[in-house]
Chains A and B, each alone.
Chain A
Amino acid sequence: AQSVTQLGSHVSVSEGALVLLRCNYSSSVPPYLFWYVQYPNQGLQLLLKYTTGATLVKGINGFEAEFKKSETSFHLTKPSAHMSDAAEYFCAVSLPIYNQGGKLIFGQGTELSVKP
């Protein structure tokens, strides 16, 4: 069975500092990988996704993530944090199997705080 582990339920960084949110997955086959962001009282918004091809994926708002198969990781980074990045971030996987695209397995989430 697939699972996703996000290391650290809360991460705090200073404005302008590097953001690093960690995600490790477990899957019987190489999965598709996603990062979503959720702002208070809102739904989830896709930041980026990895399906196939280049392992370094660039997303919106300056975020990027690198798929490392050997480490079963998909960590999210941003070189310089902005106050508007404060939100909850979710890593998710889905199986590259016919008709499984709508079923995502989510990690527990990491709440990012940005200090001025």
Chain B
Amino acid sequence: KAGVTQTPRYLIKTRGQQVTLSCSPISGHRSVSWYQQTPGQGLQFLFEYFSETQRNKGNFPGRFSGRQFSNSRSEMNVSTLELGDSALYLCASSLAASGRVPGELFFGEGSRLTVL
């Protein structure tokens, strides 16, 4: 069974540009979450999508957005890039449909974004 696939794995952008990152979840998983990992701030929750709807959102500015398609694939977009957006962006998928008990999150290898 294929794991969570993130593309691209590495990318370099300049300040002011925008970027789109893609995540293909494990087949059958309907929940996709995004996290930002930096040396200074650690792992921070960006947002979660389930059945094409944003279910949860972290404390990030509106420059960070995402969406989920009917096949559960998800994209996140960062507009007007800043130097501080340089990070590893991790996507995780889960079987958990709803309710309180969390399903196991399966993480992809991440997309490493460098902003110059």
A residues less than 8 Å from B106 (CB atoms): 46
Q: A18-53 toward B: CB 8 Å interface, digit per residue (1/0)? A: 000000000000001000100001111110010100
Q: Which residue of A lies closest to B90 (CB)?
A: A43
A residues less than 8 Å from B102 (CB atoms): 32, 49, 51, 94, 100-102, 104
- Per the 8 Å Cβ criterion, residues 59-107 of B in contact with A are 90, 92, 94, 96, 98-107
A-side binding surface: helix, strand, loop or mixed? loop
A residues less than 8 Å from B94 (CB atoms): 101-102
Q: When chains A and B are docked, how far (Å) is the Cα of A45 from the Cα of B101?
A: 18
B residues less than 8 Å from A36 (CB atoms): 107
Report yes or no: B43 in contact with A100, Cβ–Cβ below 8 A.
no
Binding site for B on A (CB under 8 A): 32, 36, 41-46, 49, 51, 90, 92, 94, 96-109
B residues less than 8 Å from A42 (CB atoms): 109
Q: Which residue of B lies closest to A90 (CB)?
A: B43
Report yes or no: A102 in contact with B56, Cβ–Cβ below 8 A.
yes
Q: A90-B43, A102-B31 are in contact. Are A46 and B100 (CB under 8 A)?
A: no
Q: When chains A and B are docked, how far (Å) is the Cα of A49 from the Cα of B103?
A: 10
Q: When chains A and B are docked, how far (Å) is the Cα of A60 from the Cα of B86?
A: 32
Q: Which residue of B lies closest to A95 (CB)?
A: B100
B-side binding surface: helix, strand, loop or mixed? strand
Instruction: Give chain B's interface residue range (CB within 8 Å of chain A).
Output: 20 to 34
Report yes or no: A100 in contact with B42, Cβ–Cβ below 8 A.
no
Q: When chains A and B are docked, how far (Å) is the Cα of A97 from the Cα of B99?
A: 7
Interface centre among A45, A99, A106, A109 (most CB of B within 10 A): A99
Report yes or no: B98 in contact with A96, Cβ–Cβ below 8 A.
no
Q: Which residue of A lies closest to B45 (CB)?
A: A103
Report yes or no: A51 in contact with B101, Cβ–Cβ below 8 A.
yes
Report yes or no: B100 in contact with A101, Cβ–Cβ below 8 A.
yes
A residues less than 8 Å from B43 (CB atoms): 90, 92, 104, 106, 109
